């Protein structure tokens, strides 16, 4: 999404105009800001800090990695800026009244961003949860204490466009609301009623633009929440300028605030109601605690953001990728390209290094290389490049590395890609030990429970099988293989707002299939399965000769 397409004529701070844009209110930085209190940041020695951190992690069996992949939460999110680390440490031994802290930060965030108000939450998802509760309760604490039981609530529904449904809208559903999914603006108009509490959406390029949705919602006083977790912060905020009432950002993305923090900006009345849902207050949001360190860390991140020389930072990221590029491009058969993000984009803030090669020449795929880099020390997390005609590869991003990571990554990637390999020989599959067609009853053992599930194999074509995997709550098609007695099965659970990728592998011995199940981001499980034995009716069957006289 490009900024000029979002709102024309708006002065945007990051990457706009000169390398360093002037803050909104220069005097407020000198009088009320915390930037002047962070002079000691230059004394923070990254090398010493990194070495201590690596030693600590390894002491508990955890191997850190160089992040050339992105800001995925499962990878720890973004790295914190120096200013953030110092600010958090500076308040870690001080006690404050948390409401006073929240109000002081809310006022300061408003000054910095131009929004009416701001709050800090335990991640963007927690912010979605808090604002949903605020829209349901209108600030009434008695209603707050009843969530997720919405019996008697005037507001109990949230509308989400189908194109905006995602795994993070659990934060909306956690409040007990009825989610109304719509597929067009006309359906959105028809779905709004007296029970509608909020419209949740992500920045979209289809018909559900923020401006088109807000034009419908605002006259009816329906708040619009925009989940911009992975977007960069723009000042003034482009999403609010387009008509959103509240916008949420992840601290662990481009802002480089504490990874467990979220930045929520927008209408003060809604955010004041959302704040009382937030910890330290009891009730629905008490489990999403935000410490003084995260509060002040987020503020430090925003203060640093508005004064940052974004062009200089971008050039630093590019220089790190150039270090890797220079080393890797010496390998025969390697093609490399460095691309900078379009300055008008607000959700791709990093330069990319694309490394491509012919897998028939190097005898290795991008997926194989990414797997090796990510699992063997020194570990380097990279993206698997999108395969093109005759080419495979990996892709690296620059914005999550720190000083010195480029050299480590360059040497490691060069070592892996320059290694001489023999052509891969894929062994022929063995004849299946049995015909698997039929129903298989499975005993699945999770970490803390056991359940019965089923495999219905409806077709076996040599080594290949297809069918339906049935759990307690879903039936989903699968595909798989049987190589001798080794069985592998893959199926995907994918509905609006949820997904689970399930992979099974096991072996058949004496007619029993036993093995493990992998659920991608979730834990693994063990299973055993036996082919269902049907009792056979050997009595003669009589076809009715007349209509029944009783039933």
Question: In the listed set 253, 273, 307, which residue is the last one of a domain according to the structure?
Answer: 307
> Is residue 197 a part of any domain in this protein?
yes
Query: pLDDT at position 350, please?
Result: 93
Residue 2 has pLDDT above 80, yes or no: no
Q: Which two tokens stand for residue 55?
A: 């030693």
User: Quick one: average pLDDT of 110-136?
Assistant: 96
> Is residue 352 a part of any domain in this protein?
yes
377/443 same-domain check: no
Alpha carbon distances (Å) from 164 to 159, 160, 327? 10, 7, 41
* Residue whose pair of structure tokens reads 């069985």 in the numeric block: 487
80/159 same-domain check: yes
Question: In the listed set 274, 307, 340, which residue is the last one of a domain according to the structure?
Answer: 307
247/168 same-domain check: yes
- The CATH number for 153's domain is 3.40.640.10
Residue 115: name the closest of 267, 301, 297, 269 by CA: 267
Query: pLDDT at position 426, please?
Result: 87
Residue 229: name the closest of 257, 251, 201 by CA: 251
Query: pLDDT at position 281, please?
Result: 92
Residue 264 has pLDDT above 80, yes or no: yes
Question: In the listed set 307, 335, 361, which residue is the last one of a domain according to the structure?
Answer: 307
Task: Give the model's confidence band at 14: pLDDT under 50 very low, under 70 low, under 90 confident, else very high.
Answer: very low
User: Quick one: average pLDDT of 328-338?
Assistant: 96
Q: 29 or 294: whose pLDDT is higher?
A: 294
153/227 same-domain check: yes
143/287 same-domain check: yes
d(CA 37, CA 55): 30
DSSP symbol at 104? H
Integer Rg of the chain from CA = 28
> Is residue 46 a part of any domain in this protein?
no
∠ CA 141-146-150 to the nearest 5 degrees?
115
pTM (2 d.p.): 0.87
Residue 7 has pLDDT above 50, yes or no: no
Q: Is 71 exposed, middle or buried (0-12, 13-18, 19+ CB in 10 A)?
A: buried
Q: Are strands 475-483 and 246-250 parallel, antiparallel or unpaired?
A: unpaired
- The CATH number for 381's domain is 3.90.1150.180
> Is residue 2 a part of any domain in this protein?
no
324/466 same-domain check: no
206/94 same-domain check: yes
Residue 179 has pLDDT above 80, yes or no: yes
User: Quick one: average pLDDT of 507-516?
Assistant: 97
User: Quick one: average pLDDT of 481-488?
Assistant: 98
Residue 167 has pLDDT above 70, yes or no: yes
* Residue whose pair of structure tokens reads 């088109």 in the numeric block: 212
Residue 269 has pLDDT above 80, yes or no: yes
- Report whether 79 contacts 67 (CB < 8 A): yes
Residue 407 has pLDDT above 60, yes or no: yes
Query: pLDDT at position 40, please?
Result: 46
291/322 same-domain check: no
Provide the mean pLDDT of the chain: 90
Query: pLDDT at position 74, please?
Result: 87
Query: pLDDT at position 36, please?
Result: 56
Q: Are strands 383-384 and 379-381 parallel, antiparallel or unpaired?
A: unpaired
Q: Is 500 exposed, middle or buried (0-12, 13-18, 19+ CB in 10 A)?
A: middle
277/382 same-domain check: no
Q: 188 or 48: whose pLDDT is higher?
A: 188
Task: Give the model's confidence band at 11: pLDDT under 50 very low, under 70 low, under 90 confident, else very high.
Answer: very low
> Is residue 192 a part of any domain in this protein?
yes
Query: pLDDT at position 38, please?
Result: 52
**Alpha-carbon torsion angle 540, 541, 542, 548, nearest 10:** 130
Looking at the DSSP bridge assignments, the partners of residue 352 are: 339, 397
Task: Give the model's confidence band at 458: pLDDT under 50 very low, under 70 low, under 90 confident, else very high.
Answer: very high
Residue 385: name the closest of 358, 416, 414 by CA: 358
Query: pLDDT at position 550, please?
Result: 80
- The CATH number for 450's domain is 2.40.128.120
Residue 277 has pLDDT above 80, yes or no: yes
> Is residue 402 a part of any domain in this protein?
yes
Burial track 190-219 (b if 16+ CB lie within 10 A, e otherwise): eebeeebbbbbbbbbeeebbbebbbebbee
Query: pLDDT at position 282, please?
Result: 93
Element (H, E) at 296: helix 292-307
Q: Return the beta strands (E) in 398-463 as ranges.
A: 438-445, 450-461
300/265 same-domain check: yes
414/447 same-domain check: no
- Report whether 263 contacts 254 (CB < 8 A): no
315/297 same-domain check: no
Domain interval for residue 516: 438-531
User: Quick one: average pLDDT of 515-523?
Assistant: 94
Residue 133 has pLDDT above 70, yes or no: yes
> Is residue 57 a part of any domain in this protein?
no
Task: Count up the domains in the chain and report the number.
Answer: 3
Task: Give the model's confidence band at 537: pLDDT under 50 very low, under 70 low, under 90 confident, else very high.
Answer: confident
Looking at the DSSP bridge assignments, the partners of residue 250 are: 262
Pick from 20-24, 348-352, 376-380, 398-402: least confident: 20-24
Sorted by sequence, the CB contacts under 8 Å of residue 255 that are 6+ apart come out as 78, 232, 233, 249, 263, 298, 301, 302, 305
- Report whether 321 contacts 398 (CB < 8 A): yes
């Amino acid at each position: 999404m490009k900024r000029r397409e979002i709102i024309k004529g708006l002065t945007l701070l990051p990457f706009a105009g000169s390398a360093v844009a002037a803050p909104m209110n220069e005097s407020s930085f000198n009088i009320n800001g915390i930037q002047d209190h962070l002079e000691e940041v230059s004394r923070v020695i990254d090398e010493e800090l990194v070495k201590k951190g690596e030693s600590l992690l390894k002491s508990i069996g955890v191997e850190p990695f160089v992040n050339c992949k992105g800001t995925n939460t499962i990878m720890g999110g973004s790295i914190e800026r120096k200013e953030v680390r110092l600010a958090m440490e500076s308040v870690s031994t001080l006690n404050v009244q948390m409401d006073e802290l929240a109000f002081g930060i809310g006022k300061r965030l408003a000054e910095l961003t131009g929004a009416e108000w701001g709050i800090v939450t335990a991640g963007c998802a927690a912010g979605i949860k808090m604002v949903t509760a605020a829209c349901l309760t209108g600030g009434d604490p008695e209603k707050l204490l009843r969530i997720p039981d919405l019996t008697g609530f005037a507001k109990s529904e949230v509308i989400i466009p189908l194109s905006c449904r995602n795994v993070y809208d659990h934060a909306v559903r956690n409040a007990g609301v009825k989610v109304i999914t719509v597929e067009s603006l006309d359906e959105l108009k028809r779905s709004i009623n007296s029970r509608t509490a909020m419209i949740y959406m992500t920045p979209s390029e289809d018909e559900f633009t923020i401006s088109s949705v807000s034009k419908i919602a605002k006259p009816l006083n329906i708040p619009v929440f925009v989940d911009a977790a992975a977007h960069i912060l723009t000042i003034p905020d482009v999403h609010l300028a387009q008509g959103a009432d509240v916008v949420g950002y992840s601290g662990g993305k481009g802002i480089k605030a504490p990874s467990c923090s979220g930045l929520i900006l927008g209408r003060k009345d809604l955010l004041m109601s959302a704040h009382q849902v937030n910890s330290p207050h009891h009730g629905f949001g008490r489990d999403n605690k935000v410490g003084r360190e995260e509060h002040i860390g987020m503020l430090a991140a925003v203060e640093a953001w508005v004064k940052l020389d974004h062009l200089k930072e971008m050039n630093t990221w590019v220089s790190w990728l150039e270090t890797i590029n220079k080393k890797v491009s010496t390998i025969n058969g390697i093609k490399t390209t460095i691309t900078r993000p379009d300055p008008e984009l607000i959700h791709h803030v990093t330069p990319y290094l694309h490394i491509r090669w012919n897998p028939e020449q190097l005898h290795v795929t991008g997926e194989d290389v990414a797997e090796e880099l990510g699992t063997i020390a020194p570990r380097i997390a990279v993206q698997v490049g999108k395969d093109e005609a005759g080419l495979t590869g990996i892709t690296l991003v620059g914005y999550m590395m720190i000083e010195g990571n480029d050299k480590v990554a360059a040497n490691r990637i060069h070592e892996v890609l320059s290694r001489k390999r023999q052509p891969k020989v894929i062994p022929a599959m063995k004849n299946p030990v049995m015909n698997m067609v039929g129903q298989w009853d499975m005993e699945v053992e999770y970490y803390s429970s056991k359940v019965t599930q089923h495999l219905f194999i409806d077709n076996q074509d040599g080594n290949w099988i297809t069918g339906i995997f049935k759990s307690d709550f879903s039936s989903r098609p699968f595909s798989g293989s049987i190589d001798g007695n080794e069985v592998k099965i893959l199926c995907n659970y994918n509905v609006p707002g949820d997904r689970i990728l399930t992979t099974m592998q096991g072996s058949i011995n004496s007619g029993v299939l036993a093995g493990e199940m992998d659920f991608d981001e979730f834990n693994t499980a063990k299973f055993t399965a036996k082919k269902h034995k049907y009792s056979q009716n050997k009595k003669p069957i009589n076809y009715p000769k007349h209509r029944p006289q009783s039933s």
